[in-house]
A and B are shown apart, each in its own frame.
Chain A
Amino acid sequence: MPLLDIKNLKIAFQVKKDTDGLFQMLGEQEVVHGIDLSLEKGQIIGLVGESGSGKSVSSLSILKLLPEDAKITADTMCFDGIDLLSQTEEEWQTLRGDRISMVFQEPMTSLNPVLTIEKQVEEGLLLHEEETYKDNKELRRERVLEVLAEAGLSHPEELLLKYPHQLSGGMRQRVMIAIAMMNRPELLIADEPTTALDAATQEIILELLKYYCETYKTAILFISHDLSLVARLCDRVLVLKNGKVVERGTKEEIFYRPQQEYTRQLMAAAKGKQLAGESIINAGQVGAEESNDTPDTKPNNTAIPLLQLKNATIEYREKTFFGKEKVTTAVKNVSFELYKGEVLGLVGESGSGKSTISKALTGLLPLTKGELIRAEGTEAPRMVFQDPYGSLNPAKKIGWILEEPLKIQGGYTKEERKRLVRAALKEVELEEAHAKRYVRELSGGQRQRVAIAAALIQKPEIVILDEPVSALDVTVQGQILELLYRLKEEHGMSYLFVSHDMNVIRRVCDRVIVLYQGEIAETGTTADVFERPEHPYTKELLRNNMDVHEQKEKSI
């Protein structure tokens, strides 16, 4: 008998339609439509899918941690022979944290901010082994130190009286895992446990989970949007899309013989372009363009750059209470040019200064030292931001948002403006009817299309794309990149493409600048930088981002 056996799991939520009037509309919306899942003792199963696929909701339903208004039904939902659907609240309390535990995505908010680490870790003992531990503080502390050490925290005794905010992200997640593993549960549910962490820490957490599985035969249900992580940890994989399982199999089956198009797309996103047999962007477009262009992307030295940044240094000054000034140098002595028709990539991790540079290029931020030169007749660049929800005015309709830049510019009649708005919507493949909607009524991809239309409506020559796809799901990412490429070709624009994602950079850029702590670490054509990286930082970036393939090989 499997440890966890779920057949035909369905989950529905109550939805309230806000009518902003004297009554509310109440309805139900099913988000998980019949999932089967079974898990053996000591087995690790991966649940993969994008946001909205129902993976988190399904995992929370196993411990009945969903909000009250969620309706859970299933043909079978058993844990070790116990029917989970008919558990009383008291029975749940004995099960949770003792036999089934859970680790969440965001360790900062998942820990109580005002209780000490010791209080939070020892609670599992007080709840489930009250007789042994209630009146024995020494024994309790001993056990707490033991689980913290087991979770890889090197000086656990120093942590006991600390609060969550005093710990690093990785340490917090280890504390979360220690809490979950306190009573050696038979099943551990890990809901995106590494998503909020950096690459190195991710690795350690995965190792830790593996250790628990091997040592205590703990079964693990691992939920992630990232196939590469799942590949490294799990025996079997379930791929979820829109609340349904689209594909299931051993990890070898999923990786080498994916049956569904959707799985292949997820794979491509995880692996980077070099591995995907077919690029997300149509091979006939960017692929072909790139192969033609690669030899001569190094722009002609005689050409005049559209935009030129010379020895730019940018400092932030902060006045402290006593009038002292605190100076932070965000960008140090950076120079580069942007030529007509090219896509220049600006890559680096957060804090590398890439956003600061893009702000400076638009003129929103003054340079402390250095020069910003625009070719004669060139207007200030337009910008597409990472989060289209924030960059589009939420209180206004799409039509108004697109019309506004024309109104500011002036010189158009009302009819002309309306016509241009319609044309712009068509250009980004949206309907005319979208003009009458609000931003919140659109999907993420549609919002980014509107943001692009708004940036392009004044026909700029330079557009700065600040992480334009990193907030989007992988399938939508491909569509938006494709659209950006087509528009660039049609209008002969230049892009400065800012991103932390090496895969995306590689897919779209002609030239790349790698930024490290506010300085240029490396620059060159995309092919050069990716194939023959010189700076150690570039190599590290590439390792963290790209070598999913190798890591997968190692782990299988």
Chain B
Amino acid sequence: MKFILKRIGTLIITLVIISFLSFLAFSFIPGDAAVANLGMDADEAAVEALREELGLNRPVVVQYGDWLLSALQGDFGESTQYHLPVSELVAKRLPATVTLALYSMVLICVISFPLGMLGTNKPGGAVDTAMTVLSQIGMAVPQFFLGILLTFFFGIVLNWFTVGGYVSPQEDMAGFLSFLILPAVAVAVPKCATMTRYIRNAVVAQKKMDYVRTARGKGNSEKRILLNHVLINVMMPVVTMLAMMAADVLAGSIVVEQVFNIPGLGRLLITSISNRDYPVVQAIVVYIASTVVIMNTIADILYQKLDPRVR
């Protein structure tokens, strides 16, 4: 319990530091909100007046405190490109990204474990070698290229789905979910490959441990050794790794949204960057950073709970 409290304490400090750093970074960009609102060739005095009005002339720390206070109440300012509250924009784009990421995580969990254990009975054997090659290809393929290949094959050759035919969950839940399957595969495959490889190496390493020899000496079959002795030892690092992977999956989702034309957080981020819509960029950056840091904290706590040696 004390450990968890301590971990949550560090989490909050880290979040504050990250949000402050990102705030600081954006405050250095030439062309602030005032310029963005009035256009590049606006009158100098008008810009200055707007700055005054928006409070951009105050010290950064004060501005940050202001921003943090309103952010905590769910107010992230107003988008300069859509002239809508940022929180509203983000809330609208969130479901697609979160669903995509969750989909991918489920795929990773379901696929990696059986594949990772496949062939570990005989390291270097035919099955193991085939798995090695497959996971190497999986790790090497860029997610967006995989997305394009999937689009081409399933959308154009087989015509199983409409390319770019995203529907929002409000319109058609089933259509929304089925459309997201292929993007989820594109996000998940490289991560699955990494995970499979990781599990495979962990199993092979564990099987060389003395306790496996003891288990064999008791008369265990290889299958029992794998399931009753090795798996639980492999589980702990793997669970932490899975939690950390959530951040990777989020990053992958952002890229893959672009490929499949899904109006999620990623697309919003990219368009906001090109349109210099900094309140939106900042909110999304803080949102993503928080997710990453929170997932890491969860990973730490999980590990602490699972392993009797550090418990």
Binding site for B on A (CB under 8 A): 63, 65, 68, 89-90, 92-98, 101-102, 104, 106, 109-115, 123-124, 127-128, 163, 165, 176, 179-180
Contacts and interface: CB of A to CB of B under 8 A. Distances in A.
Contacts of B232: 114-115
Contact of B233 (A114, A165, A180): A114
A110 B213 contact: yes
B306 to A, nearest CB: 8
Contact of B218 (A68, A97, A113, A163): A97
Given A114-B236, A115-B229, A109 B210 contact: yes
Nearest to B232: A114
Interface residues of B, number: 22
B110 to A, nearest CB: 24
A98 B308 contact: no
Contacts of A97: 217-220
Interface string B209-234: 11101111111111000001100110
A114 B308 contact: yes
B129 to A, nearest CB: 14
Contact of A93 (B210, B220, B229): B220
Contacts of A128: 219
Contacts of B217: 63, 65, 96-97, 101-102, 180
Nearest to B216: A65
Nearest to B308: A163
A292 to B, nearest CB: 50
Given A112-B211, A127-B218, 14 more contacts: A65-B213, A92-B219, A96-B219, A104-B210, A109-B210, A114-B236, A114-B307, A114-B308, A114-B309, A123-B215, A123-B218, A127-B219, A128-B219, A179-B214
A93 to B, nearest CB: 5
Contacts of B216: 65, 96
A176 to B, nearest CB: 8
Contacts of A180: 217
Given A114-B232, A114-B233, A165-B308, A109 B211 contact: yes
The 5 closest A-B pairs by CB, nearest first: A97-B218, A97-B219, A109-B210, A96-B219, A163-B308
Contacts of A101: 217-218
Interface of B: 122, 209-211, 213-222, 228-229, 232-233, 236, 307-309
5 contacts: A96-B218, A97-B220, A98-B219, A113-B308, A114-B307
Contact of B219 (A93, A112, A165, A176): A93
Give the one of B214, B215, B222, B228 with max A CB within 10 A. Answer: B214
B213 A93 contact: no
Contacts of B236: 114
A93 B221 CA distance: 7
Contacts of A112: 211, 214-215, 229, 233
Contacts of A113: 211, 233, 308-309
Nearest to A92: B219
A92 B236 CA distance: 31
A68 B122 contact: yes
Contacts of B220: 93, 97, 123, 127
A161 to B, nearest CB: 10
B218 A109 contact: no
B244 to A, nearest CB: 21
B81 to A, nearest CB: 47
A163 to B, nearest CB: 4
Contacts of B214: 102, 104, 110-112, 176, 179
A114 to B, nearest CB: 5
A95 B210 CA distance: 19
A106 B211 CA distance: 10
B309 A163 contact: yes
Contacts of A109: 209-211
A389 to B, nearest CB: 21
Contacts of A110: 210-211, 213-214
Contacts of A163: 308-309
A123 B225 CA distance: 11
B53 to A, nearest CB: 47
Nearest to A100: B217
Contacts of A179: 214, 218
Nearest to B230: A112
Contacts of A111: 211, 214
B219 A95 contact: yes
Contacts of A68: 122
Nearest to A66: B213
Nearest to B209: A109
Contacts of A165: 308-309
Contacts of A65: 213, 216-217
B128 to A, nearest CB: 12
A101 B26 CA distance: 68
Contacts of A176: 214
B236 to A, nearest CB: 7
Nearest to B208: A67
B207 to A, nearest CB: 10
A106 B209 CA distance: 11
Nearest to B121: A68
Contacts of B213: 65, 104, 110
A102 B211 CA distance: 12
A281 B30 CA distance: 82
A96 B216 CA distance: 8
A106 B210 contact: yes
A101 B219 CA distance: 9
B292 to A, nearest CB: 24
A483 to B, nearest CB: 36
Looking at A90, A123, A179, the one whose CB has the most chain B CB atoms below 10 A away is: A123
A523 to B, nearest CB: 42
Contacts of B210: 104, 106, 109-110
B245 to A, nearest CB: 22
A184 to B, nearest CB: 14
A63 B218 CA distance: 10
B211 to A, nearest CB: 4
A179 B229 CA distance: 15
Contacts of B229: 112, 115
Nearest to A108: B210
A111 B228 CA distance: 13
Contacts of B221: 89-90, 93
A477 B254 CA distance: 65
A336 to B, nearest CB: 41
B309 to A, nearest CB: 5
